[in-house]
Amino acid sequence: MIKVDSDGKGPTFVGGERVLVLPLKMEATIIKQILHYDMNETFWRNVELLYDDGSKGTSHGWQVKKVNNVS
């Protein structure tokens, strides 16, 4: 079952997508986006990331931008 927020929307980012982490000017792979709760509202916000060097991190959703990979 796919989780949705209070507006009925799924996550903006899904696991495996490549993104550019704007403050760091580095690419990373999305692990997952986290559904947050505030009072009776839910919303998609932070993303867990896997960087190319193997380290993991968390960023706000507005700090990342999807990268179009052309093969």
Residue ranges per structural domain of the chain? 18-64
- Position 71 confidence tier, pLDDT thresholds 50, 70, 90: low
Residues 6+ apart with CB under 8 A from 21: 27, 28, 49, 57, 59, 63, 64
Can you tell me the distance from the alpha carbon of 1 to that of 34, in angstroms, rounded to the nearest whole number?
A: 15
The torsion of the CA quartet 36, 30, 66, 24, rounded to 10 degrees, works out to 90
Least confident piece of the model among 30-34, 58-62, 67-71: 67-71
Residue 70 has pLDDT above 60, yes or no: no
Report the pLDDT value the prediction gives residue 68, as an integer from 0 to 100: 81
Confidence tier at 1 by pLDDT (50, 70, 90): low
